[in-house]
Amino acid sequence: MTLPPAETQLPAQVFLPAEEQLALLERGTVDLHVRNELLGLLRQGRPLKVKAGFDPTRPDLHLGHTVLMNKMRQFQELGHEVIFVVGDFTAQIGDPSGRSATRKVPTRAEIEHGAKTYAEQAFKILDPARTRVVYNSGWLGRMGFDDVIRLAGRYTLARMLERDDFKKRWTEHVGISLHELLYPLAQAQDSVELDCDIELGGTDQLFNLLVGRDIMRELGMRPQCVMTTPILEGTSARVEGGKLVGDKMSKSLDNYVGVAEAPAMQLGKLMSISDDLMWRYYELLSTRSVTEIKQLRADCAAGTASPKAAKMGLAREIVARYHGEAEAEAAAEGWERQFSRREVPTELAEVTLDAAEGEGGVPLPRALVGAGLCKSTSDARRLIQAGAVDVDGERATSIDAKLSAGARYVVKAGKRSWAAITVR
C-alpha cells in the first residue's frame, strides 16, 4: 500500500462555526485541557494540526485503538489535518503508561512489521487526503546525547514521579528503569518537531500529553491543547453493582475485536457481548447520533425494541465499516442461520485456541477442555460418544474430529454448557 506523501496539500475547506465544531468534538471526550484555547484556535478558521502517536508494538489494530482514530477522523471531517505519528523510535523505549513493571522492548523487525500494518489499517478509518504519516525516528534518531541531556534538563524528577504509575511503583519498591523516564520527553519532542496545535490520546496518556505541553512552553512555543478519549473495555466486560467492570480491550487478554479480522468473526464477537456493554460500544464506536442511541436504548428498556436487534445493528455497522455492506450482510445472515438452528445463548464465552503446527486444527476433545466445557479429554470423549456435543448446531459423532484453523465455532457440551471457540 502506498502511503501519502509526508506533506499533504489540503483541499479548500469551509469551516463550521467554532462553537459547533467544539460541541461535536467534545462528544466522547474525557479530558479537554484549556478548552478556551482550543475554541480560540478553532475560531482562526484554518486547518489545525492534530497529532496522535501509535507505537507499533503489535502488528494489528483492534476496536480499542479505533476509539481514538474515530476522534481523529472527526477532526478530519471538520477540515483539519491529522498527523499520524508512527512511534518506531519510541517503541524501543516502551511507553510506561499503566504499567506495573518495565515493558519488554520489541525487536527492530517487530517494530518495522507493526509500523507497516498500523499505517495500512489506519486508513480503514482515516482519510488519506488529510493524514500526514510520519515516523518519529526521523528526528529522535538524529538527536545526540547532548540533545537528550538538554531535553531532560527541562523537566524535574519530582514532577516525573508525580505520574500515578511511577508513584505506585516507587512506593511499592518496584523497579523503574531510567530509560522509562525519557519516554514522556521523547513524546513531547514529537510535538515540538511537528509544532502541533492539538495532541490526542487515551486517558492513560494524559501525563505524557501534558509533558508535551510543558516542554513546548519551556521552548517559547504555543503549548498544544490536550484531548483524551476513553479506554474501551474488552468483550468480556460486565456490569456488576451498577458499574461496568472489566479489563481494557487487549490482544494479550484475548478480549478484543480486530480491525482486520474476518467479517464473520468480527460480527460473532460483537454479538457475544453483554447487553449492558453494547451501549458502551454504541457510545464509543457507532456513528449514530447521541439522540438516536438514547432513543434506541429507551425503546429496548421499554420492550418496544429488541436488544438483540440493536446489537445486530451495531455489529453490522462495524463490520460494514471495515469490510463493506455486502460482507456485513453475509456475516449477519450466516450468524442468523447458525443461531436459529437451536436455542443458542446470544452471550457466549469467547475462547481462542491455537492449532499446533502441522496439525491443521484442534482435536475436538482438546478444544472442549481448552474452552472449559470439560475437565479432561477423557470426559470430552465420553460426551462425544454419548452424542452430547454439538458443533455449529450439528451433532459431533467422532472423537477424532477436529476444529479447523481460521474459523469460529459455536460448541455445546451437555445440556447447558456453551462456548464460541476460535481456532487460529
Fold of domain 238-340:
Tyrosyl-Transfer RNA Synthetase (1.10.240)
pLDDT in the model for residue 79 = 93
Give the pLDDT band (50/70/90) at residue 313. very high
3-state SS class at 32? strand
Burial of 119 (0-12, 13-18, 19+ CB in 10 A): buried
Distances 214 to 160, 290, 358 between C-alpha atoms, Å: 12, 34, 54
Query: Which residues have a Cβ under 8 Å from the Cβ of 315 and sit 6 or more positions away?
Result: 266, 267, 270, 271, 332
Is residue 336 over pLDDT 90? no
Q: Residue 161 and residue 157: Cα distance in Å, rounded?
A: 6
Fold of domain 350-423:
3.10.290
Q: For 341-404, where are the alpha helices, taking DSSP H only?
A: 364-370, 377-385
pLDDT in the model for residue 128 = 87
Whether 251 contacts 235, CB under 8 Å: no
Overall size of the chain counted in residues: 424
Mean pLDDT is highest, among 10-14, 59-63, 141-145, for: 141-145
pLDDT in the model for residue 57 = 67
Chain segment 5-26, per-residue pLDDT in tens: 444 444 456 789 999 999 999 9
Percent of the chain scored above 70 by pLDDT? 91
Whether 200 contacts 69, CB under 8 Å: no
Element (DSSP H or E) covering residue 421 = strand 417-423
pLDDT in the model for residue 386 = 84
pTM of the model: 0.70
**From 158-162, 227-231, 399-403, the region with the lowest mean pLDDT:** 158-162
Is residue 125 over pLDDT 50? yes
Chain segment 287-309, per-residue pLDDT in tens: 898 899 999 999 999 999 999 99
Q: Residue 407 and residue 421: Cα distance in Å, rounded?
A: 8
Is residue 414 over pLDDT 80? yes
Q: Can you tell me the mean pLDDT for 380-395?
A: 88
pLDDT in the model for residue 3 = 43
pLDDT in the model for residue 97 = 52
3-state SS class at 286? coil
3-state SS class at 145? helix
State the angle between helix axes of 263-271 and 307-323 in degrees (0 to 180), rounded to the nearest 10.
150
Pick among 3.40.50.620, 3.90.180.10, 3.40.640.10, 3.50.50.60: CATH of 18-229: 3.40.50.620
Is residue 27 over pLDDT 90? no
pLDDT in the model for residue 129 = 85
Is residue 123 over pLDDT 90? no
Q: Residue 269 and residue 22: Cα distance in Å, rounded?
A: 34
Distances 98 to 169, 171, 201, 395 between C-alpha atoms, Å: 11, 15, 13, 46
- Beta strands 417-423; 402-404: pairing state: unpaired
Return the C-alpha cell found at 182.
525519557
Q: Where are the domains of the chain?
A: 18-229, 238-340, 350-423
Indicate the average pLDDT of the chain: 86
Give the pLDDT band (50/70/90) at residue 169. confident
Count the alpha carbons within 13 Å of 130 in the hemisphere toward its beta carbon: 22
